[in-house]
């Protein structure tokens, strides 16, 4: 399901003037991921914590690359063939039924506050559209306001229906974004509305108005960006 076209030579210029290229993860990226892990500070590792930051975990990422349940993307700095990974994002849970796929992202510290995190989030949302996903979910610690702000800026909102999760002294909250355009949702509801009896149309009209007023993004990663 995650077998979509590579981003190729898609590039952006950051606020610091550097040019970053986005591409999908390759089977040959293991050493680059080890260096990427080393470039994450202790604080970023804490917020990011995808598990371990070792060879085994790097190999688990690159072995399957982009196939099956997970779509993976890296942000690469440098003009060489492989360059240096400065950002990593993924969507997991593509093959699970009755499950909202989970988005994760991690940016190395020296590339914080230069626009990379937001740009990568936007690109992952576009990839989610290509994958025909209805929604994306992520988790974020409530003491990571900078990440929460970035997520909200691209359309995520805290989902009050998902209970927060306690982890030591921190609390992880969940955010969701609706991938489908609000207009599409309104059109689908209008079809159902026209089939209703006059008795139930008044209530349906109220619901339809609420849907029309929902922003394009509705929400709910503890991840470091």
In a domain, 125, yes or no: yes
99: left (phi over 0), alpha (psi -120 to 50) or beta: beta
Q: H helices of the chain, where?
A: 30-39, 42-48, 55-64, 116-130, 145-153, 182-194, 198-213
**pLDDT tens track for 42-62:** 888 888 766 789 999 999 999
Over residues 97-121, the mean pLDDT reads 94
* 165, pLDDT greater than 70: yes
**pLDDT tens track for 68-101:** 899 999 999 987 667 899 999 999 999 988 899 9
DSSP one-letter code for 108: -
Asked if 39 contacts 48 with a C-beta cutoff of 8 angstroms, the reply is: no
pLDDT confidence band for 1 (50 / 70 / 90): very low
Q: How many structural domains comprise the chain? A: 1
Asked if 158 contacts 140 with a C-beta cutoff of 8 angstroms, the reply is: no
Mean pLDDT of the chain: 81
Query: What counts of helices (H) and strands (E) characterise the chain?
Result: 7, 9
In a domain, 223, yes or no: no
In a domain, 185, yes or no: yes
* 194, pLDDT greater than 80: no
- State how far the Cα of 175 lies from the Cα of 103, in Å rounded to an integer: 10
Asked if 24 contacts 52 with a C-beta cutoff of 8 angstroms, the reply is: no
195 or 82, greater pLDDT = 82
- State how far the Cα of 119 lies from the Cα of 75, in Å rounded to an integer: 10
Over residues 182-189, the mean pLDDT reads 48
CA-based nearest residue to 219, from 184, 179, 167, 165: 179
195 or 24, greater pLDDT = 24
In a domain, 94, yes or no: yes
In a domain, 118, yes or no: yes
- State how far the Cα of 76 lies from the Cα of 84, in Å rounded to an integer: 5
| pLDDT, position 222 | 45
In a domain, 201, yes or no: yes
| pLDDT, position 47 | 83
In a domain, 155, yes or no: yes
Q: Read off the tokens for 151.
A: 């997520």
| pLDDT, position 201 | 44
**pLDDT tens track for 118-140:** 999 999 999 999 999 999 999 99
Range of the domain at 194: 11-213
Q: Read off the tokens for 189.
A: 């509801």
CATH number for the domain spanning 61: value is 3.40.630.30
CA-based nearest residue to 137, from 110, 173, 113, 95: 173
Asked if 1 contacts 94 with a C-beta cutoff of 8 angstroms, the reply is: yes
Asked if 169 contacts 191 with a C-beta cutoff of 8 angstroms, the reply is: no
In a domain, 58, yes or no: yes
| pLDDT, position 208 | 37
| pLDDT, position 196 | 53
């Amino acid at each position: 399901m995650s077998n979509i076209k590579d981003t190729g030579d898609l590039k952006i210029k950051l606020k610091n003037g550097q040019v970053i290229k986005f591409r999908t993860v390759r089977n040959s990226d293991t050493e680059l991921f080890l260096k990427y892990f080393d470039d994450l500070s202790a604080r970023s590792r804490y917020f990011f914590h995808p598990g371990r930051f070792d060879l085994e975990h790097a190999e688990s990422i690159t072995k399957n690359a982009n196939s099956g349940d997970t779509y993976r993307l890296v942000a690469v700095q440098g003009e060489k063939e492989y360059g240096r990974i400065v950002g990593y994002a993924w969507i997991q849970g593509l093959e699970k039924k009755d499950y909202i796929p989970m988005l994760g992202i991690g940016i190395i510290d020296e590339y914080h506050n230069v626009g990379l995190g937001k740009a990568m989030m936007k690109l992952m949302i576009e990839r989610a559209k290509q994958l025909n996903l209805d929604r994306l979910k992520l988790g974020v610690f409530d003491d990571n306001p900078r990440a929460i702000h970035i997520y909200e800026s691209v359309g995520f909102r805290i989902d009050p229906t998902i209970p927060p999760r306690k982890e030591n002294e921190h609390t992880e909250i969940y955010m969701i974004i609706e991938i489908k355009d609000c207009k599409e949702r309104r059109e689908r509801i209008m079809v159902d509305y026209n089939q209703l009896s006059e008795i139930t149309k008044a209530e349906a009209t109220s619901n339809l108005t609420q849907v029309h007023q929902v922003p394009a993004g509705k929400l709910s990663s503890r991840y470091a960006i």
